[in-house]
Structure 1
């Protein structure tokens, strides 16, 4: 009887959110208590968006909750052997990144060691489960990709998205809110196509993030996800993005998206644009692209008088708007869509640079040249 209940994909999606949310609400307070007790706190520095010492290592709570959810619900859903192998590879990848993140949160870790761990975790999934980007859908005249190039390119995308989400985790609620938008977008698609494993990943992570937001936005019991959370989160979102492209290419897929690569760019719009932008600025200034600064879009919003919550809402709304534009463009040729989105995306996501809040009122000001 209970197995029949969990065979309903929409019940599974709903229960995944509720279960993860309820478990996370019990896990995060324990993490906060331990962080305070053992003084595992994040000290504010000049470029920080906070002024008080704050409990970090929220990623440990995210990992525990997410792992419990997909293992338990995976059993109740009776995943087939192929999906179980994929589930194990996901857990293997996030365990590696969790370890790296915890070490970086507590002791600092060199970018080189982070990259090695990210490449290894990505290769584990790509090589062992064959979840990879297999085609460019005809963009620039390129169709199916050679296996070796497909593997290398897929690993590169994993590493890029992992670092993109690590970089946007700069103000309260931002990384979590953007991740909820991404998970919802991919999760709905997977539910429509009855992809049980991916539905578990998407909606369980939504519940984990909703629970985390409760404490990340709290004033009295604030919690940061830290690198232990942002690396783990970026890995899972990259996994969903590439799985979305793979599922969309399958012949048995009931509901397909004609402009799948463009939709991935739109869904991941903010982290992609903000990361590329700050990399260009840092390299142009003769610095390492991984050197820390306050050149992110969310930092500009804070400097223009917006609170963390308002800054997060502005970025989230812009990201959703980009996704809607991708839907509107879906009937055009893919290359044309790419050109349009390449122009529209920066305009929309850079719009926050024109917003200024003074005396409680939001105004649009054109910067002086």
Structure 2
């Protein structure tokens, strides 16, 4: 009898209950995994030791990514049997590769070359066996369809770029987790609009796994970091959402996002990519250093120097990215090049607003000093 029910069960018929179940399972597993992580981290001294570039002054556990990974594994293996099993199995395989690479990097040290090769392998598994790739640019620069191998190479580039972007912005409390929470919420919305229940379920599960982490990441006493384990898994998951969303939208002309998928996907991951490309340019072009060398030139470091707290910076960045996403949705029916230009201009302006404001206040203060010298 149970087998008959499962055979004819369609999650779309019970969508709200189905998504709530995925969220609740991930939330429960994540919340109940952290006590064990804390106990092991303290007992075995698996802590991040503050350095010159650190925004923290206390030794802190860095294994928060374990709870995020376990939550996604449980949801995938329990609810995945009624979804697109092949895609979920390969997605889980890719996440598992990055989980062990990230865990080794958090506990010991892993060379950038090995991490890079692991990211390529995880991405290739999905690209080759599910044929999930970016097939074109929806007419941006006149490119509608890419040749197969160029499509594969470009998709690999997107994976590596986004994975490392989320890894690089994980420099203050809540920023990587908060932006990942927003991105998963945005992708849950677009996948539900496209009736892709499989990816919507995983996106909602990721939200459930991140909420307990963010609660502890912002805590003063029992604080925890997601570490490379968490940032690589989250970056990989979001990069898969980006590729799947663009690929699916471009395959069907009747799709609501057929003419806007690349721009809409870019709006969701705009801040991580903006900060990564900006920091690479500063390091390579201005300081003549390796783009992977460490420094304090990230946007969040500059906001810290202006006196903003970790919570204020995270809230500001996440809200701006959400506003940018909503605006992009509003003009998704515009001509694709106009969408792209509006996104770049509006996004750059919004993320520069705080610095422009402080510069104007500084100029005002200097004029007052010049007019009324002491």
Cα deviation for residue 340 of structure 1 reads 2.5
Q: Deviations 1:227-258 (Å, cap 9, x if unpaired)? A: 01100110000000111112212339664353
Cα deviation for residue 6 of structure 1 reads 4.3
Aligned to 1:130: 131
Under a length normalisation based on structure 1, what TM-score does the superposition of the two structures give?
0.92
Aligned to 2:78: 72
Aligned to 1:28: 34
Say what the alpha-carbon RMSD is for the aligned residues: 2.0
Count of equivalent residues: 357
Separation of aligned partners in 2, 1:333 and 1:193: 21
From the superposition, tell whether residues 256 and 365 of structure 1 become closer, same or farther in structure 2 (CA, over 3 Å).
same
From the superposition, tell whether residues 106 and 333 of structure 1 become closer, same or farther in structure 2 (CA, over 3 Å).
same
Contact residue 273 and residue 349 of structure 1 kept, 8 A: no
- Does 2:313 match 1:306? no
Equivalent residues in 2 for 1:238-317, closer than 5 Å: 238-251=239-252, 255-284=256-285, 285-317=287-319
Aligned to 1:321: 323
Q: Deviations 1:282-326 (Å, cap 9, x if unpaired)? A: 112011111111111111111111111111001111111211221
Q: Which has the higher Rg, Structure 1 or Structure 2? A: 2
Cα deviation for residue 221 of structure 1 reads 0.8
- Does 2:192 match 1:191? yes
From the superposition, tell whether residues 132 and 286 of structure 1 become closer, same or farther in structure 2 (CA, over 3 Å).
same
Separation of aligned partners in 2, 1:72 and 1:330: 36
Aligned to 1:210: 211
Under a length normalisation based on structure 2, what TM-score does the superposition of the two structures give?
0.91
Q: Higher mean Cα deviation, 255-264 or 298-307?
A: 255-264
Of the three residues 15, 21, 25, the one matched with 1:15 is: 21
**Long gaps (5+) in structure 2:** 367-374
Instruction: Classify the secondary structure of the residue corresponding to 1:235.
Output: helix
Q: Deviations 1:318-355 (Å, cap 9, x if unpaired)? A: 11121122123323211122123222222212223346
Aligned to 1:115: 116
**Long gaps (5+) in structure 1:** 357-362
Aligned to 2:369: none
Equivalent residues in 2 for 1:222-241, closer than 5 Å: 222-241=223-242
From the superposition, tell whether residues 22 and 185 of structure 1 become closer, same or farther in structure 2 (CA, over 3 Å).
same
Contact residue 120 and residue 156 of structure 2 kept, 8 A: yes
Equivalent residues in 2 for 1:324-339, closer than 5 Å: 324-339=326-341
